[in-house]
Amino acid sequence: MADLAKSHDGHHVTAILVVHDGATWLPEVVASLASQTRTIDLTIAIDTGSVDSSVKLLKNSRVPVITMARDCGFGEAIAAGIETIPAPKGDDEWLWFIHDDCAPTPDALSFLLSAVTERPHVAIAGPKLRGWYDRTHLLESGISIASNGARWTGLEPREYDQGQHDGIREVMSVSTAGMLVRRKIFDELGGFDSNLSLFRDDVDLGWRVHVAGHSVIAVTDAIAWHAEASASERREIDVKSPFLKHHLLLDRRNAAYVLLTNSSWWVLPLLSIQLLGSALFRAFGFLLAKLPGYATDEVLAVGALLIRPRMIVEARKVRRTHRLISSRVVSQFIPPRRAQLRMSLLRATQSFRQFILPSESGSSSVLDPTNEDEDLLTPAATLRWRSIFRRPEVSTFFFLFILTTIWSRNRFGSLAGGALPATPSGAMNLLGSYADSWHEVAMGSASASPPWIAILAIASALFLGKANLLVTLFFWMAPLLIMWSMYSILKEYSLNSFLRVGASLSYALSPVALASISSGRLGSMVTLIIGPQIVRYLLRIRKVEKVSWQFIFALSLLIGVLAAFSMQAFIAVALIYVIGGIFDVIDNRKNSNPRLMRNRLTRRFVLIATPLLLCFPWSFQLLSHPGRLLLEPGLSIAGGGSALAWLANPGGVGSIPWWAMSPAPIILLVALFSSTRARLFAEVGVIFLLVASFAGALAFPSHGDSVGEPLWVGSFLTFASISAVLAGVVILDGLRNKLASTGFHFRHILAGLVVASTLMYAGTAVTWTLTTGANSPVRANQESVLPPFLALNPGVKTLVIRAAEGVNSQTLNFYISRGSDARLGDPDTAPTSPLAIDLAVRQIVDGSGLASSKVLSAYGIKYVFMKNPIDKQFVHAIDGLGGFVRNSATDAGIVWRVDGVSERLVFTSASGKSTGILADPKGTRTFSPGAGILSLAENFDASWEIIQDGKKLPKKQNEYGLPEFAVTNVGEFSLTHDGTARRGMLALQSLIVMGVVVMATPARRRRSEMSVEELT
């Protein structure tokens, strides 16, 4: 046996080295122990069944080795080692635990002992741990445990050691790698908990030491290099229980065990819930990261512990025997929640940054050639902020910012006008309208809402739920976003920053961009922003079979967002895929590789089908009205027709005049004859011009309209404009040198034509935006169409009639309002006007409608409002018809009240007397005065139900096509619109979206897949 005589400093130190397949690090570890400046009094090694050359290395080093079973835990190994050394005789006998992958510096023990000499109350001291491979960054300097079980070091990820944490300080615990513990106290406390075979035994010991009235310190002058082989999954977990042979599972399980056995009893319920909740949350995150194994480990770790409370109870009994003070003595070391949150955000930000901007996992090394003197002598370069504006992209963005701010001077506020209806104030209103099974627009509609409403609602969360603020900012910043999107892809085509910014600026000021913003075309605006990114990725997947499925789904997700806003844009993209598919088939005929063809076609099919599935059920509903596939969100406002489309100008209200000729057609025409890849872009661009021209000649009635308007072709022209910009950049890139080196040629003329047309258009567009362009149809804070008193009772129907300019003469248009102007989403779900109402209004106009008031009141229309400018013939006709009592005549217009019972819910008794029943828009519970008929002034839908005495009343359509129910008893009844089907579809859509998101997100790596250099 070793002589336990104390050394000259009065301490006796026994180093216990636990080895488990540590041959990689053992040579250095053993050498470090041997080279300690303060000689170790006794060194023993415990080998737990190593299968490598660890034992041989130890024997060669003449270190006594005790062999244990392979599934022996760390604590058990330590206990076995302690049994071989004589019992302690004083307080100054120390045990120094060393891992087989932990090499202390030569003076580590010396510093540790000098620290504990001055502090007799200290039971444990530990060194500062740095990475084994990157020895400049900190791993640990004392440890703790967070309330959710996470191992808490208080350090930032890969924190560089600059001495910022130096000093001797009290900590909750230190790692067992390099832990110096007073043997007497270690024995008193019973050593490591045998239930903690590996991981978190250090935290548990430190907690127990504190509760027993002792202290733990971290001595940062003592340094050890630690490879964290077990934690980084470099070696297998060999523990007795096969269930616990997963790193993460064992770590989480032990963390939960430490918290549950050491915390005060009265926090245990909350702690259990917190542990379970954290586990579920982390499991969900791991599922998203495509690490189902880790997800399972998280849940099993806590679950397996909680279903065995006896073990916790027994452990707590043992601890009670050694407890002198409350468990809360360690609360000073438990990190506050905000610190945990800050650290989580920091980690998430760094992960995201690494994902977006991957950098080489470099680490500085002491071998890096640096001249420290040079650092001192060289003055630090100060950046003059004015020089930033010399960069063309900065100055151009700034110029565009000023321009768009001046252009938007009438658009600061709640926007409406053109194709854009008023935005509800809150995101919840938008979400509600998306999820509703019944839309209160006109006579009501059960149409599926388009998904862009939900996207807007979710995006509003960034603005504290203020949807109208989001819309206002979006319209203001749209040109900048459009320019940035194009600029980001042009880097691949030209290194000339002036050319890039010029091209992206011309894209942001293109006719389609200006017209879209002026006239409130949300779909086209989103297409303008997302379009360049999609084109970039489409060009990358020309060899679609070489692209990963994760990329395919990510691109599908992006296209799905685009399709939600503009099916027209989706058709444009799908067209490209279909053409690609045709080329695949042709290629297969040439090269006969059916497997390759199937692979390609499958991927292209997924790219087309996935966005449609993401927009389910709205996308499927569109298939029953194919014309609506070409319509954009919001009101259907006429486009400029096919002729203007050839000029790449969508036309319509708010668009730049046709004579401000866009250079896009000229560029496309010139590029068609190019011998570079500009020709490919030109061919695509011309195809989209053709498609836009055809589509611009068509007219489809939208929701709620009886007459179609010439189609707005903004999305098609967006892709044409993108093609023109790309073609132009390719042509002009390096052209100056080419032209300078050749004689005067037609190329000089064409280049001049392109540049001149671009500059002329730019000047015109800038002038237009600063002057006429500001008076756009979309404006802020416009007056409501309805007079205020008609909006007092929401849900009350008013037939609004307005004069409009027809093709040859003035005409009258009408629609039913429910107490407010059209709101975002209403035009996309509005029902067609019933034929009876169309006829009633026509008869009012031609003066023959003696029964028109009866029809209108049957449909629940309480008021008729003719907005100024009034049509005198109509006013005279309605005044003369009877059944309409003039209510008011103001600057806003004339209002008539419709005679008769015009409530939404009308009860007609057996004697024929009708009375109105007040009913809430979203279902009601009220009273029926007797047997009779209940008529509901909403479009007939199978989901309308009236339930009385637990039974559904029979339902049928009345003469006006409205639902009516036969009531047989007096008593209460409930009127509802059964939204089960809608909720089911939303649930299915949510599952589809989640599935695609999971497929699209990049998978995280297991720790075993990361390089050791990354980890340590």
856-895 residues in contact with another protein (CB under 8 A) are 867, 873-874, 876, 879-886
Q: Which residue has the tokens 């085509």?
A: 493
832 by Cβ neighbours in 10 Å (0-12 / 13-18 / 19+) ranks as middle
Q: Is 759 in the site for another protein (CB under 8 A)?
A: no
Residues within window 508-567 making contact with another protein, judged by CB under 8 A: none
Q: Closest CB to another protein among 719 and 874?
A: 874
CA distance 1000 to 553: 5
Give the CA angle between residues 638, 639, 645 to the nearest 5°: 165
Q: Is 795 in the site for another protein (CB under 8 A)?
A: no
Q: Closest CB to another protein among 646 and 960?
A: 646
Choices 118-126, 381-389, 625-633, 825-833; region in contact with another protein by CB under 8 A: 825-833
CA distance 448 to 995: 21
Q: What totals of helices (H) and strands (E) does the chain contain, helices first?
A: 35, 30
Choices 2-10, 54-62, 600-608, 818-826; region in contact with another protein by CB under 8 A: 818-826
Binder of another protein out of 370, 848, 890, 957 (CB under 8 A): 848
DSSP 664-684: HHHHHHHHTT-SSTHHHHHHH
Query: CB of 500 within 8 A of CB of 487?
Result: yes
Burial 937-957 (b: 16+ CB within 10 A, else e): bbbbbeebbbebeeeebebee
DSSP 270-300: HHHHHHHHHHHHHHHHHHHTT-HHHHHHHHH
Beta carbons within 10 angstroms of residue 1009's beta carbon: 10
Nearest approach, Cβ of residue 656 and another protein (Å) = 21
Q: Closest CB to another protein among 397 and 438?
A: 438
Q: Closest CB to another protein among 301 and 667?
A: 667
Residues within window 407-466 making contact with another protein, judged by CB under 8 A: 416-417, 421-422, 441-442
Choices 24-32, 133-141, 552-560, 805-813; region in contact with another protein by CB under 8 A: 805-813
Q: Is 832 in the site for another protein (CB under 8 A)?
A: yes
Nearest approach, Cβ of residue 474 and another protein (Å) = 18
Between 522-540 and 714-732, two packed helices, what is the crossing angle to 10 degrees? 50
Choices 140-148, 349-357, 840-848, 905-913; region in contact with another protein by CB under 8 A: 840-848
Question: How many residues form the binding site for another protein (CB under 8 A)?
Answer: 85
Nearest approach, Cβ of residue 510 and another protein (Å) = 21
Choices 364-372, 801-809, 903-911, 998-1006; region in contact with another protein by CB under 8 A: 801-809
CA distance 997 to 254: 33
Residues within window 763-782 making contact with another protein, judged by CB under 8 A: 777, 779, 782
Beta carbons within 10 angstroms of residue 891's beta carbon: 6
CA distance 301 to 276: 9
Binder of another protein out of 802, 862, 904, 982 (CB under 8 A): 802
Binding mask 898-937 for another protein (x = CB under 8 A): -x--------------------------------------
Nearest approach, Cβ of residue 889 and another protein (Å) = 10
* Backbone phi, psi, residue 517, to 5°: -70, -40
Binder of another protein out of 206, 696, 714, 773 (CB under 8 A): 696
Q: Closest CB to another protein among 588 and 813?
A: 813
Binder of another protein out of 396, 414, 769, 817 (CB under 8 A): 817
The token pair at 863 is 């008021």
Question: Shortest CA distance to 965 belongs to which of 992, 931, 999, 991?
Answer: 931
Binding mask 609-648 for another protein (x = CB under 8 A): --------------------------xxxx--xxx--x--
CA distance 59 to 78: 19
Binder of another protein out of 172, 800, 936, 975 (CB under 8 A): 800
Binder of another protein out of 751, 845, 855, 946 (CB under 8 A): 845
Nearest approach, Cβ of residue 636 and another protein (Å) = 8
Q: Closest CB to another protein among 341 and 885?
A: 885
- How many angstroms separate the first and last alpha carbons of the chain? 37
Nearest approach, Cβ of residue 455 and another protein (Å) = 22
Nearest approach, Cβ of residue 957 and another protein (Å) = 20
Binder of another protein out of 67, 447, 494, 811 (CB under 8 A): 811
Q: Closest CB to another protein among 742 and 848?
A: 848
Residues within window 657-676 making contact with another protein, judged by CB under 8 A: 672-673
CA distance 861 to 720: 46
Nearest approach, Cβ of residue 471 and another protein (Å) = 14
Choices 277-285, 405-413, 522-530, 688-696; region in contact with another protein by CB under 8 A: 688-696
Own/partner pairs for 66-69, CB < 8 Å, 24+ apart? none
Q: Closest CB to another protein among 198 and 822?
A: 822
Residues within window 248-307 making contact with another protein, judged by CB under 8 A: none
Query: CB of 257 within 8 A of CB of 305?
Result: yes
CA dihedral sign of residues 169, 174, 180, 181: positive
Question: Shortest CA distance to 133 belongs to which of 248, 20, 24, 23?
Answer: 24
Nearest approach, Cβ of residue 662 and another protein (Å) = 16
CA distance 813 to 796: 20
The token pair at 486 is 């194009």
Binding mask 705-744 for another protein (x = CB under 8 A): xxxxxx----------------------------------
CA distance 703 to 699: 13
Question: Shortest CA distance to 503 belongs to which of 363, 632, 664, 297?
Answer: 664
Nearest approach, Cβ of residue 444 and another protein (Å) = 14
Nearest approach, Cβ of residue 640 and another protein (Å) = 12
Q: Closest CB to another protein among 480 and 672?
A: 672
Q: Closest CB to another protein among 276 and 571?
A: 571
CA distance 417 to 841: 25
Q: Is 841 in the site for another protein (CB under 8 A)?
A: yes
Residues within window 944-963 making contact with another protein, judged by CB under 8 A: none
Binding mask 112-141 for another protein (x = CB under 8 A): ------------------------------
Beta carbons within 10 angstroms of residue 771's beta carbon: 11
Binder of another protein out of 801, 864, 962, 975 (CB under 8 A): 801
Q: Closest CB to another protein among 764 and 782?
A: 782
Q: Closest CB to another protein among 322 and 897?
A: 897
Q: Is 833 in the site for another protein (CB under 8 A)?
A: yes
Question: Shortest CA distance to 88 belongs to which of 36, 11, 177?
Answer: 11
Q: Is 757 in the site for another protein (CB under 8 A)?
A: no
Alpha helices (runs of H) in 128-246, residue ranges in sequence order = 183-188, 201-211
DSSP 63-125: --EEEE-TT--HHHHHHHHHHTSPPP-STTEEEEEEETTEEE-TTHHHHHHHHHHT-TTEEEE
Helix (H, G, I), strand (E, B) or coil at 808: coil
Q: Is 822 in the site for another protein (CB under 8 A)?
A: yes
